[in-house]
Every structure is written in structure tokens, then in C-alpha cells.
């Protein structure tokens, strides 16, 4: 049964949905396989804050009882949700203990998952308010990397990444306000696309850290990501930002090759004073060779990155302050979060709005980089995944310093809103995954997905499984 569960859960969501659709497996069987793997492996991983076992079983049974006509593209597939997104009947903890009342309704992203037939199996761990690229919480413990449980899975969507990488679920929702989808995807060997700002609804909230944050999935394959964005893409009247609609379906877009693209590459970080690990530079160069073999025009560039520190910091402070103001027991926030709030009180709302406008100006400058190239290729993170405990005993300034190498390539694109993805690039000598980042023009996730799909076909990564959990 353990081996059968592994084979089933590592299939990914597109294949799992096909198995349910063709009657080869039931939704209840999928959910039971996921629950058995969660029971077996999550005590060592800390990926889940809460597992909704009985609710998921009931939801799976209801899916199996539905008529075949009108079933959605994710019918019967178990999916996990990061604990900053509302799931009806559950507390949205934001990684802490300052909330204790269950919410009445799903967030819009979760509502869309259920409308497509998905089964919500649990909520995944995160650092409080998603502030850090390490998934460590005073309240809910530490998430561990399935490739090496002494190492971090990254953050802040580290619980979601660990769950997918370990084959506990086929996909999980995360959020990205400074790299929080791409960083854990890179650490755990997954595909993670931060979409264009305003692509996926943040409702019932008008925004996620103002202009910085987006919602999106972590998956084992590019096709799974495209399938999920077919379901998730779209906003509501309450969303502050809305992206230009994609003209074709996301999965359908992958049917058309990208053609010969101009791809610039650089190992230069967008944050001064950070040096990339040599193996990350090596993965970048190996990807350059692969892209050239695929027929693309790939050239080294020296990007003149704009300084995004001020607009990022203003919105980071404003975002944490807004989320903290909405919790029920602010006195129960972590000490480090209270330090963030002390800093945030020095940043008035007018400064946050100025930061948003400054970010738009920087986006215009970044757009000019793409007049001579279609995509930009960089590392995702500068450092290898740290040992767990990066935040142990760390005050605000220490936590910020330890975070810099993790966000040195990612946070700029949150400020500008451009789509960017973490694409797996093999394994390092430490046995942990390597990755590269593909950045696209504004509203051009399709080119990012198409090239990522080419790389996936040229060097398949979805078949790779962490040794700990491949049983």
C-alpha cells in the first residue's frame, strides 16, 4: 500500500484528475492515500498546520457521488492551502496564534479550487504573516525540507512546498510577497510561478501586502501549474489590482512552442553585497546551454537593476501592519513581529502609497530591460538552503540579514509586478535541489511557462523524489 500510495501521489494533479475522470481511482482513494502519507511523513516535515481528514473524506465522497456531467478539471483531487488563505470553518492563523475564530467562507482562490472539483485536505505552515523566507513559527514549529530534513524548505510557503515535494499532495496554494512561492520551490525542487500582479484574486482582502503579494500554486510540473492557473486566474470587484486577461487558456497555451526567443542571463543579484553560491551560477550556465540547444538566442547581460529597497520596505511594513490590525489578539503576536510593527508604525499610510507609486516607476524602468530580450534568466536564491533554525533567537535585524541572500533575486519582481518562475535545474553536491528563475515581461506568463515546459521536457525533473518519502 505504501508503494501504491507513493506512485499515486507523485503523479501530479493533472494525472490524478484524469484517473478520477476515467474511473481508475476514486476521489476517496486519492484522499486516503494522501492522508496515509501525511500520517507517515508529516511528523518529520511539519508541512501541515492542520489536516482536515474527516472533512476531506466527506468532500471526496460527495465528489464521487456527483454526476459525471459538469465535473470540473480538478474533480476529486486533494490540494493543500497555505494558512494565510481563508478556508471555511477553519481559523486563518497567518502562522501565529493571534486568531482563534473560524472564518465563515472560503477565500476566492479556495472557492475557485472547490468549484473546479478539488478537495481541500489541510492548511500548511508558514512564518507569522509570511515575513521570512524560512518556515519557522513560535506557534506551529518548523517546516523541514524533504530532501534533507536538517535544512529549510524556504518560505514563506515552505509548508506548501514540503507537502508537494514529499508527495503528500499533488499541489498546494502559496503566496508570494517577496519570493515566497519561488524560494520554497527552488529549495524543494518544484515549479513555482509568481504570476503577474492582479492575476489571481486576493479576496476577501483587497490586496496581499499591497502591490507586492500574489497567490499561486506550487506544483511538480509546468502543466500542473498551467492547469491550476486556468482555474485560479481572475479577480473580483474587491481586488485592488487586476491583470490584463490571458487571451488563451493556460494549458492550451503550452500546445504552441514559444519560437526562437531572446533570453538574457545574469548571475548579478538585484540586492547589492550578496554573492551567489557557485553551484547556483553553475546551474545558470547549464541552463544557458540547454536553452541554446533548444534554439533560443541566449546572451549574457548586465542588468541595471533599479533600487527597490524603499518601495519594498514601505509595503512590507504596511502589509504586516494591516494584517496585524485584523487579528483578534495582537498581544499574542511573536516578539519579532512586534518589532516589525514598531518599525511599521514609523511608516505612515501615505508612505506606503508613495512606495506603490515608486514601484510602478521602477516597473517602467524594468520594462525597458525587456526591449532587447523576451525573458531574463537568473538564479532564484543566492545561498543554499540553510539549516533549520535560521530564526531561533533572531531579532528583527538578524532575521532581515539572514533573509537577504534568499530574496536577492526575487523581491524586485514583486515590487514591479512582473511574472517570474522558479524552474528546477538538477541537484547540488549537497543532494538538495538547484533552480533558476525565468522573468517575463508584464502580463507575459505564457512565455515563461512555454520555455519552462521546454526545459522540463529536455531534462525531466518531476520524476525526482526525495529519498525520505519515496516509499
Give dist(CA 15, CA 29) in Å, integer: 14
CA distance 31 to 37: 10
Q: Is residue 126 part of a domain?
A: yes
Confidence of residue 217 (pLDDT cuts 50, 70, 90): very high
pLDDT, residue 467, reads 84
What's the CA gap between 460 and 456, in Å, rounded? 5
392-396: long-range contacts (C-beta < 8 A, 24 or more apart)?
Answer: 392/136, 394/336, 395/336, 395/339, 396/336, 396/339, 396/340, 396/343
- Give the model's confidence band at 339: pLDDT under 50 very low, under 70 low, under 90 confident, else very high: very high
Q: How does DSSP classify residue 246?
A: P
Tell me: pLDDT of 43 over 70.
yes
Residue 54 belongs to domain with CATH number: 3.90.1300.10
| Whole-number pLDDT of residue 432 | 97
What is the pLDDT averaged over residues 278-285?
98
- Any residues with CB less than 8 A from the CB of 233 and at least 6 apart, and which? 195, 199, 200, 245, 246, 250
DSSP 313: H
Q: Is residue 471's pLDDT more than 70?
A: no
Asked if 406 contacts 181 with a C-beta cutoff of 8 angstroms, the reply is: no
- Structural domain contains residue 40: yes
H/E stretch holding 421 reads: strand 420-427
Q: What secondary structure letter does DSSP report for 469?
A: G
Q: Cα–Cα distance between 384 and 20 in angstroms, integer?
A: 38
Say what the pLDDT of residue 440 is: 98
Residue 464's pLDDT is what?
A: 83
Q: Per-residue DSSP letters for 1-67?
A: -HHHHHHHHTT-HHHHHHHHHTTSS-HHHHHHHHHHHHHHHHHHH--EEEE-HHHHHHHHHHHHHS-
Strands (E) across 125-213 are located at: 136-137, 141-142, 171-176, 191-194
Is the pLDDT reported for residue 240 higher than 90? Answer: yes
CA dist 259 and 200 (Å) reads: 27
User: Number of structural domains, the chain?
Assistant: 1
- CA trace torsion 449, 37, 392, 216 (10° rounding): 20
Specify the pLDDT at position 412.
98
Question: Rounded to an integer, what distance in angstroms lies between the CA atom of residue 130 and that of residue 119?
Answer: 24
Range of the domain at 21: 2-465
Mean local confidence (pLDDT), 216-221: 98
Q: Is 471 a domain residue?
A: no
Residue among 420, 389, 393, 426 nearest 407 (CA)? 420
Q: Which residue has the higher pLDDT, 464 or 24?
A: 24
pLDDT at 2: 74
Give per-residue pLDDT as tens, 122-140.
999 999 999 999 999 999 9
pLDDT band at 469 (very low <50, low <70, confident <90, very high): low
Termini Cα distance of the chain: 9
**Range 133-167 burial, b when 16+ CB lie within 10 A, else e:** bbbbbbbbebbbbbbbbebbbbbbbbbbbbbbbbb
Q: Give mean pLDDT, residues 188-204.
A: 98
Q: What share of the chain is helix, strand, coil (3-state, %, to 5)?
A: 40, 15, 45
Mean pLDDT calculated for residue range 62-76: 95
Measured CA to CA, the distance from residue 268 to residue 379 in angstroms comes to: 9
- Report the C-alpha gap between 359 and 344 in whole angstroms: 18
Residues 372-383 have pLDDT tens digits of 999 999 999 999
Give me the mean pLDDT over the 340-345 stretch: 96
Residue-wise pLDDT tens digits, 409-444? 999 999 999 999 999 999 999 999 999 999 999 999
Statement: residue 56 has pLDDT above 60: yes
169 lies in some domain: yes
Report yes or no on 470 lying in a domain.
no
Q: How far apart are CA 276 and CA 288, in angstroms?
A: 17
Rounded mean pLDDT of 158-165? 98
Active site residues: 82, 156, 180
Confirm whether pTM is higher than 0.75: yes
Cβ 425 vs Cβ 396: under 8 Å: no
Axis crossing angle, helix 278-293 with helix 445-458, rounded to the nearest 10: 90
Q: At what angle do helices 2-9 and 27-45 cross, to 10 degrees?
A: 100
Angle at 165 between CA 162 and CA 170, to 5 degrees: 105
Q: How far apart are CA 382 and CA 411, in angstroms?
A: 13
Q: Is the pLDDT of residue 360 over 90?
A: yes
Beta-bridged to residue 79, according to DSSP, are 120
Amino acid at each position: 500500500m505504501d508503494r501504491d500510495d507513493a506512485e499515486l501521489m507523485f503523479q501530479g494533479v493533472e494525472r490524478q484528475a484524469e484517473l478520477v475522470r476515467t474511473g481508475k481511482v476514486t476521489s476517496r482513494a486519492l484522499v486516503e492515500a494522501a492522508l496515509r502519507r501525511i500520517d507517515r511523513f508529516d511528523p518529520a516535515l511539519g508541512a501541515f498546520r492542520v489536516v482536515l481528514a474527516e472533512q476531506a473524506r466527506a468532500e471526496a465522497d460527495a465528489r464521487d457521488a456527483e454526476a459525471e456531467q459538469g465535473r470540473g478539471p480538478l474533480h476529486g483531487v486533494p490540494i493543500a492551502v497555505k494558512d494565510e488563505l481563508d478556508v471555511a470553518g477553519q481559523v486563518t492563523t497567518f502562522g501565529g496564534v493571534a486568531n482563534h475564530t473560524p472564518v465563515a467562507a472560503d477565500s476566492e482562490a479556495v472557492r475557485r479550487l472547490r468549484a473546479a472539483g478539488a478537495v481541500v485536505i489541510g492548511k500548511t505552515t508558514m512564518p507569522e504573516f509570511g515575513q521570512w523566507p524560512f518556515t519557522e513559527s513560535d506557534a506551529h514549529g518548523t517546516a523541514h525540507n524533504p530532501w534533507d530534513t536538517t535544512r529549510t524548505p524556504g518560505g514563506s510557503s515552505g509548508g506548501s512546498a514540503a507537502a508537494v515535494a514529499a508527495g503528500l499532495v499533488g499541489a498546494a496554494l502559496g503566496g508570494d510577497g517577496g519570493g515566497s512561492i519561488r524560494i520554497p520551490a527552488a529549495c524543494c525542487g518544484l515549479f513555482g510561478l509568481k504570476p503577474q500582479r492582479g492575476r489571481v484574486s486576493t479576496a476577501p482582502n483587497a490586496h496581499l501586502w499591497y502591490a507586492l503579494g500574489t497567490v499561486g500554486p506550487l506544483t511538480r510540473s509546468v502543466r500542473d501549474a498551467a492547469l491550476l492557473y486556468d482555474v485560479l486566474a481572475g479577480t473580483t470587484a474587491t481586488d485592488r489590482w487586476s491583470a490584463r486577461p490571458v487571451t488563451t487558456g493556460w494549458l492550451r497555451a503550452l500546445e504552441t512552442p514559444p519560437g526562437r526567443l531572446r533570453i538574457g542571463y545574469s548571475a548579478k543579484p538585484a540586492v547589492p553585497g550578496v554573492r551567489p553560491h557557485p553551484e547556483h551560477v553553475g546551474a545558470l550556465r547549464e541552463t544557458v546551454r540547454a536553452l541554446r540547444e533548444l534554439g533560443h538566442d541566449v546572451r549574457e547581460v548586465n542588468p541595471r537593476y533599479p533600487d527597490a529597497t524603499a518601495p519594498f520596505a514601505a509595503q512590507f511594513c504596511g502589509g504586516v501592519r494591516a494584517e496585524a490590525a485584523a487579528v483578534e489578539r495582537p498581544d499574542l503576536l511573536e516578539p519579532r513581529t512586534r518589532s516589525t510593527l514598531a518599525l511599521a508604525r514609523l511608516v505612515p499610510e501615505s508612505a506606503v502609497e508613495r512606495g506603490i507609486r515608486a514601484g510602478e516607476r521602477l516597473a517602467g524602468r524594468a520594462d525597458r530591460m525587456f526591449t532587447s530580450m523576451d525573458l531574463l534568466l537568473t538564479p532564484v536564491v543566492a545561498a543554499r538552503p540553510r539549516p533549520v533554525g535560521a530564526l531561533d533567537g533572531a531579532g528583527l535585524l538578524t532575521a532581515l540579514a539572514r533573509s537577504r541572500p534568499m530574496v536577492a533575486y526575487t523581491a524586485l519582481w514583486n515590487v514591479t509586478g512582473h511574472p517570474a518562475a522558479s524552474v528546477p535545474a538538477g541537484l547540488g553536491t549537497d543532494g538538495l535541489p538547484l533552480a533558476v528563475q525565468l522573468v517575463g515581461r508584464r502580463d507575459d506568463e505564457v512565455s515563461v511557462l512555454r520555455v519552462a515546459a521546454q526545459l522540463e521536457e529536455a531534462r525531466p525533473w518531476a520524476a525526482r523524489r526525495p529519498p525520505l518519502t519515496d516509499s
